[in-house]
Structure 1
Amino acid sequence: MKQAGVLMLAAALLAMAPRILAHDGPHGHASAGAAEDPDISYTVHLGKQVTDIPPKREITIPNVTLPDAGELRVLKGDFHIHTLFSDGWVWPTERVYEAEENGLDVIAITDHIEYRPRLNRGNPGEPMLRKEDSENYNLSVEIAQKQAAANKKASKNKSELLIIRGTEITKKTMPPGHFNALFVQDVNKIAAVQDDYWKMFAEARAQGAFLLWNHPGWEAPKSGGIEKGAPTTFTKIHEEIYKRGYMDGIEAFNGKEFYPVVAKWCTDKNLAAFANSDIHPPESRQYGLRNPRRPVTLVFAREKTLESVKEAFFAKRTIGWAADMIFGQEKFVRPLFDACVEIKKEPGRFAFANRGSIPVVLKVGGQTVELAPLATAGAGRTDSIKTITVENWFVGKGQPLAVPVE
């Protein structure tokens, strides 16, 4: 296949030869020297001919208005990300570029505390750090923060990517499993008590951290997950963690997995719902380039600042979005739907307009309407249709959002 690819590229270059020769000189002008001497030529830029990268991802979501909070911005985030400073495959700076290309507003670098197999092993592409650096659990976040600030400075019109200081508390048994501590002040202080997860939770909370239960349905019994084929349950230990105030949110979607019961837990216990990548390889390896179905957590924030994101987290104003699904508490999902989808009653029909980038599948009587991002659609209307069901927006376990249209 490699040989066939080379032959195809050679054929393409031959077909382009007249145009290349005509613009072989500097600044697109033919070079007299090149015509006279066959050993002189100039660089030919073939970027568009040899790459097939989609345009930068743009995510359109209208602002949302809540009765107790007013108008809020909807920020796009991923709050479970790994780098070479634990068991990820890339340097922290690459995570910044990936997030910017995906149209995200805010991310958290959450390298493991107890599990850092990439450091100082001498393998190609893995970091060899000074002792003081390898023992600094804050370093990956600091590198990412510096890169985000540099990117903002280099592009005056670009809004800076926000980087949350976080870490993953990684226990090999379930319960408790794995937890992310977000908005911590110093990961080193949490790492200092890593032999006792209760002390780790207490230290994280003392720093004002938001505590997120990661991948509750992950099937990996030797690494802190559940047994293969076991149900996703809220165990007695997790109930105790919750009662002590050490659980603020749960991942309903992680990597490529969905845990339907989490939407119910979030409503029953007033917990924030998250959809995170938990990414270890490069973005292109896990999801492809700029994939609109990759997991994203939507945050209803007053403004684009770390302080505002933290306030939204603790107010539980988050929604998960992944694989064309929305899931979270109804009190937040419904206002998002109202902001994104316009429903008009016309003689004998409904007219729908999607003002956002989130796909919507509607059940209108016996009709199914697929409302694509930024698109319009219609459906027949009768007096018997009192409610429209949003089949890919969930507010509980197997419970789609229901929208009255009387």
Structure 2
Amino acid sequence: MEPVPSALPDGEPAPADGSLPSTALAGLGRGPFGIYVHVPFCTVRCGYCDFNTYTLTELGMPGASVSSYADAALGELTLAGRVLGERAPQVDTVFVGGGTPTLLAAHDLVKLLAGIRDTFGLAPDAEVTTEANPDSVTPESLQVLADGGFTRVSVGMQSAVPHVLKTLERTHDPSNVRLAVEAARAAGLQVSVDLIYGTPGESLDDWRTSLESAIALEPDHISAYALVVEDGTKLAAQVRRGQVTMPDDDDEADKYELADELLSAAGFGWYEVSNWARTPAARCRHNECYWADGDWWGVGPGAHSHVSGVRWWNVKHPNAFAGRIASGESPAAAREVLTDEQRHDERVLLGVRLVEGLPLDVLHDDGRRAVAGLVADGLLDGRSAVRDARAVLTLRGRLLADTVVRRLLGY
């Protein structure tokens, strides 16, 4: 699931018309190009979530409601088409995230996709994904999505264990996950299932139950993310007051190893530290665009975009977003032009997380010198380093990926 942080970074002012430097426009088309659409609505806000989301009772301004949001998002797409102009490539991937995108009517999601197609064109093999809560889809709505051009649905299962879901404040009925997956498959959609491990009170057996339940659904793709207690969330306050315990690093490591063991035995191959797919074709290509330093335009409140080393982010609140769009202004709050060193560091940070690893010639001298020690410590695969000149994480390296990145960056 694609995150939208609730806190926006500082940056330089973004032009009111959304214009980009000519150097950024000149780089368009050299790699994949994606569109991310953020739908900020949820029926309830889960206690662990720090994404830019709002319950329906918090909103109401025209353009910031479920019924009118698609038109506001289409307004930003029109702006994007004007800014990128003739240099804009066809769209390779679309990802609709949230929030709960499927709180929008399926026809509105299809209308958004049609707007993307009309503005930029879609590649013949474009991957088009929406996230979905199990309780927010029906066989009929999923069929509308499939008929309208969606190819993939990412189902927020999180856990199969009721007490874990309760701690996470997830409100769906666990039995509805299978119904949603079966309905998506019947509509001809690829299916991904999202899991979270490390929830306070979750035992290793609980996690095994969730993994086995997810595998039994026979999805094409499974994501498994460690729970992170983010500042400012209800869960963080509960930890601070001693009501629940902070997730334990050793416990999360045990659960990651169990995930890799069970998923590998079931025929899933890891391709990014937190993601497994049945086949290379079942990988999430939209996320691969991020990890490969591709270009994407993020639509919606709080959404982030990147084009050829220029990164910007939209105003957070849906009312502010809708107001900017209605007045013909860019919703961008601020932006930054990345330095060559920042782009290098991000390439190392993201590239090393992939199963293909990172070419050693990308590294600076300090990073290349660190490789032998990382191999000796069992964090990088020695054969890949020697034979292929690539930094490829071992299983232990995946558990300590942040440490590997710091050493490859010479820290």
Normalising by the smaller structure, the TM-score range is 0.3 to 0.5
- Length-normalised TM-score, structure 2: 0.33
- Give the number of the structure with larger relative contact order, counting CA–CA contacts within 8 Å between residues 6 or more apart: 2
